[in-house]
């Protein structure tokens, strides 16, 4: 039977929707269901909710309301940022060079690669250190007059490392190149202030911070050259056509508000539990390594690799034992491949296939962590015996 008492330790993949968020969304399904583009009062109520949500999001990231574009998810935000800016910059000034890190989410990297393969752009990858962190000086060296856009992930989903976005942004700004960051993970836990981060574009997705799936934000700094990629009606300053998904946008704003208030207190609580996980795993399990930076990382994020362990089998056995975790090469079809991120960090296959990601959330209790840390070493031993190397 599906285990109802299974403990969720995969909050970087998604989060439960906060009941206060659900409550805020509900009236917009069947009471205030108007189309925000309509003239009548139904439309006006919807438009009010939309603009109020926009204001809330803008306030929390120190942006203007007019710089907030609602999208259907973080991936769409990444797509709009890269495609929209790349095409506009090529038209405006012939720029065709795209600079990204090798540890981007696929929403960024696969978009960049398609721009290269189908549309003639040239994609260059930045270097990263052993923790998957970009050196701002490397950005400086690789920037070219024809660079259309630079994109560096704020906090990596797989290994949790946080990039020096503010410094990279400063360099891009001084060179007059658009700078995007995917903060789908970061925005749930880190301060997001568009001026401190020196960014022109930021991607955010609601379901990482106890909001609903299927709604996101792209912040677009005023004056950024960008084309829409979803054309139609003139919604979202002509940058994203489609009838506004009001209940989800309201949910995103409410969830963001809740995430922003009191995140520092949660932060310290997370770090305490995270460091317990990191320390005990490295202590109790032979041939284990932390992936990503030890301190410059998401507060709720612990990630590891284990030598000669099939990461997929580990996830399945953890699930059967009552713990839902993730890995860099998560694959439910039994066809394991090392992840691009771990490969970029230079880990050999016998390490990179054995990855595990443990991410904590608001419901996580210390005793759940204790139970997990008790169960894990035995499972690792069993897997190593199952498939001897």
Stated as kind and residue range, the H or E segment containing 1 is none
Task: Name the token pair of 18.
Answer: 């906060």
Q: Is residue 313 near another protein by the rule CB under 8 A? A: yes
CA distance 162 to 169: 14
Closer of 367 and 385 to another protein (Cβ): 385
Cβ contact 226:85 at 8 Å: yes
Q: Is residue 319 near another protein by the rule CB under 8 A? A: yes
Q: Is residue 5 near another protein by the rule CB under 8 A? A: no
Measuring CA to CA, which residue among 380, 356, 387 is closest to residue 286? 380
Q: State whether residue 192 is helix, strand or coil.
A: coil
Q: Is residue 388 near another protein by the rule CB under 8 A? A: no
Closer of 169 and 338 to another protein (Cβ): 338
Q: Is residue 196 near another protein by the rule CB under 8 A? A: no
Shortest Å, Cβ 386 to another protein? 6
Q: Is residue 320 near another protein by the rule CB under 8 A? A: yes
Exposure on the CB side of residue 12, measured as CA atoms within 13 A? 28
Cβ contact 207:18 at 8 Å: no
Residue 112 sits at φ, ψ, to 5 deg, of -60, -40
Per-residue x/- mask for another protein, residues 368 to 387, rule CB under 8 A? Answer: -----------x--xx--xx
Q: Is residue 3 near another protein by the rule CB under 8 A? A: yes
Cβ contact 253:53 at 8 Å: yes
Contact segment (CB under 8 A) with another protein among 14-22, 260-268, 315-323, 358-366 equals 315-323
Closer of 62 and 321 to another protein (Cβ): 321
CA distance 152 to 183: 9
Measuring CA to CA, which residue among 297, 280, 309 is closest to residue 375? 280
CA distance 26 to 87: 39
Q: Is residue 1 near another protein by the rule CB under 8 A? A: yes
Q: Is 331 a catalytic residue?
A: yes
Closer of 4 and 39 to another protein (Cβ): 4
CA 116 to chain centre: 23
Closer of 30 and 385 to another protein (Cβ): 385
Shortest Å, Cβ 7 to another protein? 14
- Set 73, 178, 325, 331: catalytic member: 331
Cβ contact 129:346 at 8 Å: no
Q: Is residue 332 near another protein by the rule CB under 8 A? A: yes
Per DSSP, what are the bridge partners of residue 211?
none
State which of positions 128-157 bind another protein (CB under 8 A): none
CA distance 318 to 5: 13
Per DSSP, what are the bridge partners of residue 303?
357
Task: Name the token pair of 105.
Answer: 């989410």
Residue in 321, 340, 343, 368 binding another protein, rule: CB under 8 A: 321
Residue in 40, 120, 333, 367 binding another protein, rule: CB under 8 A: 333
Shortest Å, Cβ 317 to another protein? 6
Measuring CA to CA, which residue among 44, 152, 138 is closest to residue 108? 152
Q: Is residue 314 near another protein by the rule CB under 8 A? A: no
Shortest Å, Cβ 289 to another protein? 22
Q: Is residue 389 near another protein by the rule CB under 8 A? A: no
Shortest Å, Cβ 264 to another protein? 38
Active-site annotation, residues: 331
Please report, as ranges, the residues that interact with another protein according to CB under 8 A: 1-3, 310, 312-313, 316-317, 319-321, 332-336, 379, 382-383, 386-387
């Amino acid at each position: 039977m599906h285990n109802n008492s299974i403990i969720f330790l995969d909050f970087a993949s998604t989060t439960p929707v906060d009941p206060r968020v659900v409550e805020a969304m509900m009236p917009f399904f069947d009471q205030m269901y108007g189309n925000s583009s309509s003239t009548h009062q139904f439309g006006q109520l919807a438009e009010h909710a939309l603009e109020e949500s926009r204001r809330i999001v803008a306030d929390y990231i120190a942006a203007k309301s007019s710089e907030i574009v609602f999208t259907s998810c973080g991936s769409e935000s990444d797509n709009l940022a890269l495609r929209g800016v790349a095409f506009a910059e090529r038209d405006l000034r012939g720029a065709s060079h795209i600079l990204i890190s090798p540890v981007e989410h696929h929403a960024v990297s696969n978009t960049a690669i398609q721009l290269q393969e189908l549309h003639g752009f040239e994609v260059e990858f930045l270097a990263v250190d052993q923790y998957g962190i970009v050196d701002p000086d490397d950005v400086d060296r690789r920037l070219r007059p024809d660079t259309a856009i630079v994109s560096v992930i704020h906090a990596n989903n797989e290994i949790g490392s946080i990039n020096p976005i503010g410094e990279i942004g400063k360099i891009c700004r001084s060179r007059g190149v658009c700078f995007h960051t995917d903060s789908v993970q970061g925005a749930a836990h880190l301060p997001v202030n568009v001026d401190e981060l020196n960014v022109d574009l930021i991607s955010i997705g609601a379901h990482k911070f106890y909001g609903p799936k299927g709604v996101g934000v792209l912040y677009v700094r005023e004056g950024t050259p960008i084309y829409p990629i979803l054309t139609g009606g003139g919604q979202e300053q002509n940058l994203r056509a489609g009838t506004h998904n009001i209940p989800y946008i309201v949910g995103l704003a409410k969830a963001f508000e809740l995430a922003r208030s009191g995140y520092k207190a949660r932060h310290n609580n997370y770090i305490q539990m995270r460091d317990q996980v990191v320390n005990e795993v490295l202590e109790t399990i032979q041939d284990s390594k932390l992936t990503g930076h030890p301190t410059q990382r998401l507060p709720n994020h612990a990630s590891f690799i284990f030598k000669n362990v099939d990461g997929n089998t580990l996830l399945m056995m953890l699930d059967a034992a009552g713990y839902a975790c993730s890995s860099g090469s998560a694959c439910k079809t039994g066809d394991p491949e090392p992840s691009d991120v771990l490969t970029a960090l230079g880990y050999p296959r016998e390490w990179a296939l054995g990855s595990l990601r443990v991410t904590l959330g608001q419901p996580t209790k210390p005793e759940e962590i204790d139970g997990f840390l008790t169960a894990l070493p035995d499972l690792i031993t069993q897997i190593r015996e199952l498939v001897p190397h």
